[in-house]
Amino acid sequence: MKIKPVKGRPMLHWVGKRPIDTVNHYPAQLVETYNVENPEKEPIYDKFKNGPNFVFHGDNKEILSTLLVQGFRGKIDLICIDPPFASGADYVREVALRGKREKLEAEGHTVAEQIQYTDIWVNDTYLQFMYERLILMRELLSDKGSIYLHCDSTMSHYLKLIMDEIFGKDLFRNEIIWRKYGGHKNTAKLKFTTENDTIFFYSVTDKYIFNGIFRPLSKQTIQSEYKHIDENGRRYAIPRGRKYLQGTVKRVYLDSNPGVAIGNLWTEKELTIQGKDNERIGYPTQKPEALLERIIKASSNEDSIVLDCFVGSGTTAAVAEKLGRRWIAADINKGAIQTTIKRLQKLPNMQRGIAHYRVNNYNASTHLERTDIVIKKYGVQTDRQEAFFDGTLDGTLVKIIDLTKPLTPLDIQTIKDELENRPEESRNITVFCYGINRGIQAELQEENRRRAVNKIFVRDIGSEGVTTFEPASAEVNFEREEESVKITITEYISPTILARMDIDRTVFDEHIDDFRAQIDCVLIDTDHIGEHFTIVESDVPEKKNDFIDGKYTVSLPRPDAHVAVKIIDMLGEETVVTG
């Protein structure tokens, strides 16, 4: 599919700048559904109109491309994004076991997640990252559509120039200044305290949706100006300095005055999440619902589609759902997707169900989890600015090969090809793998004798006794009757949680009084066919200290139906047990 060229004159240049002129189709894999009958295996626009809302897990560049190919081009009325700011911050979710105060270190960011979720960038890489995605977003927006981009002073000046180029300077509508704190925080010693973020508002054409937002009149204004009351009890004001024919008096009624139009300086206390415990879910970049409510009300109608491809804690999706809009949410971070879906399940009276898809990351989790364990086991120093190698160890560059298969000659050739593009690189290479195809070690030994630099050394972690991944275990009892099944979760142990609490499995009961403290939520599929998980029943505790019930009786669609229980723990690990 071809992409239209950018509208404005390029005003910003960086190393590697290149526009997107075509997009590819990345097949979507249906993972699970909530409150959906007969879900579509592919997220097609024609079916979306009367079907569920979408949640996507994966790289949003590929997700945006998929949406374009699947018929969403020109169909989105509003895009709200809160992308990484390139601020140097490294955000980690706050995680604690239920009923415990001690915080656990949340899941580490995998290699694929680091470039989006952790806020540490090479400047040119960040600019190209945003440039490509903003071009795709423009293609998805309708002629009456708008985009709101949330940023801070770190990159706002660069992003403004990029958006001028992509959307056109004449379609810039507002620079909104949002005071993100409820009160002054004077913690800075060598500069003024930063209390605001910036939101850039652009439209696609001059005929865009905009519903004015008004602030109620103050009590002082009402009492001083609308001090008159007519025979029906309605308050009104008499405008000053006007002349009226035949002695009549012009009345301006209070109930016909919408209030004071909101400007671009947003300082209201309700627009900060400070103190709103009912909204807080422990997500580091969570935004208040009132902030998104203002944006969605202003720039969408009830039949509009709202998109957020950096959805984070799910605020945009939650507010769009409450306001009756159709919505699409996406994020590369697994924890963000789980947080969003859990948050949406708690909403009362959902108008449409949820279809959860993965795009182009079907088998990534196993490899990346194993990669992270190897990095920690051997003390590899990671470098988030390095695109090909995984880090350094004892002065060598480290490459971790796909740990789900043995090392092959093609893997070695890929490394050699990369080194060809780095003529100045003099370091040797350490390759970690899980198994080696016959003959590779002997060939490398011979090559290393001839090489002065870039020698390649292979370490087979399997032969060194490394177990790279130990999944959680759960014991679930299923007692079937003719039309129902009684489900009881009797045990759950996560080796990952135990490791991060630094306790041994043999003393598990001494540290965790109730195994349910590890469990975040439970989902049940009463007719599991293996292709995707359909959420029929869910147990999502309202409060952080509440435990899941652990005992459920659910109706069966037929006596021979397969039942599946998905347990999601406090670190986001998913375990599925069938019975």
**345 is a domain residue:** yes
For residue 441, pLDDT beyond 70: yes
The predicted model gives 79-89 an average pLDDT of 76
Do residues 253 and 173 both lie within one domain?
no
User: What's the first-to-final CA gap in the chain, in angstroms?
Assistant: 45
**3 is a domain residue:** no
Do residues 573 and 485 both lie within one domain?
yes
pLDDT tens digits, 364-377: 345 666 777 788 77
Per-position DSSP letters for 354-365, written without gaps between them: EEEEEES-TTHH
Q: What is the CATH number of the domain that holds 537?
A: 2.60.40
Least confident of 4-8, 251-255, 328-332: 4-8
Do residues 145 and 190 both lie within one domain?
yes
Burial (CB < 10 A; 0-12, 13-18, 19+), residue 420, is: exposed
More confident residue, 566 or 383: 566
Domain endpoint, select from 435, 460, 485? 460
**276 is a domain residue:** no
**465 is a domain residue:** no
Do residues 249 and 342 both lie within one domain?
no
What domain range is 218 assigned to?
Answer: 214-261
Per-residue CA distances from 510 to 17, 345, 489, 494 (Å) = 57, 34, 20, 15
Do residues 515 and 555 both lie within one domain?
yes
pLDDT tens digits, 539-565: 988 777 889 999 999 999 998 899 999
Do residues 220 and 206 both lie within one domain?
no
| Spatial distance between the Cα atoms of 550 and 396, rounded to a whole number of angstroms | 49
pLDDT tens digits, 383-402: 877 888 999 999 999 999 88
Q: pLDDT band at 227, cuts 50/70/90? A: confident
**15 is a domain residue:** no
For residue 524, pLDDT beyond 60: yes
More confident residue, 101 or 257: 257
**246 is a domain residue:** yes
Q: pLDDT band at 238, cuts 50/70/90? A: confident
The DSSP call for residue 165 is H
* Whole-number pLDDT of residue 401: 87
Do residues 68 and 144 both lie within one domain?
yes
Least confident of 12-16, 62-66, 358-362: 358-362
Task: Output the six-digit token pair for 257.
Answer: 């005055």
Domain endpoint, select from 395, 429, 460? 460
**282 is a domain residue:** no
**518 is a domain residue:** yes
The predicted model gives 241-258 an average pLDDT of 72
Do residues 433 and 483 both lie within one domain?
no
Do residues 150 and 33 both lie within one domain?
yes
The pTM for the full model equals 0.71
96-98-102 Cα angle (round to 5): 35
* Whole-number pLDDT of residue 110: 42
Do residues 195 and 222 both lie within one domain?
no
The DSSP call for residue 156 is H
| Structural domain total, the chain | 4
| Spatial distance between the Cα atoms of 563 and 518, rounded to a whole number of angstroms | 22
* Whole-number pLDDT of residue 554: 94
The DSSP call for residue 499 is H
| Spatial distance between the Cα atoms of 69 and 406, rounded to a whole number of angstroms | 36
Q: pLDDT band at 111, cuts 50/70/90? A: very low
Do residues 126 and 198 both lie within one domain?
yes
Contacts of 108 (CB under 8 A, 6+ apart): 372
Domain endpoint, select from 438, 460, 482? 460
pLDDT tens digits, 165-217: 999 999 999 999 999 875 555 555 678 888 899 999 999 999 999 999 998 89
* Whole-number pLDDT of residue 360: 66
Do residues 562 and 419 both lie within one domain?
no
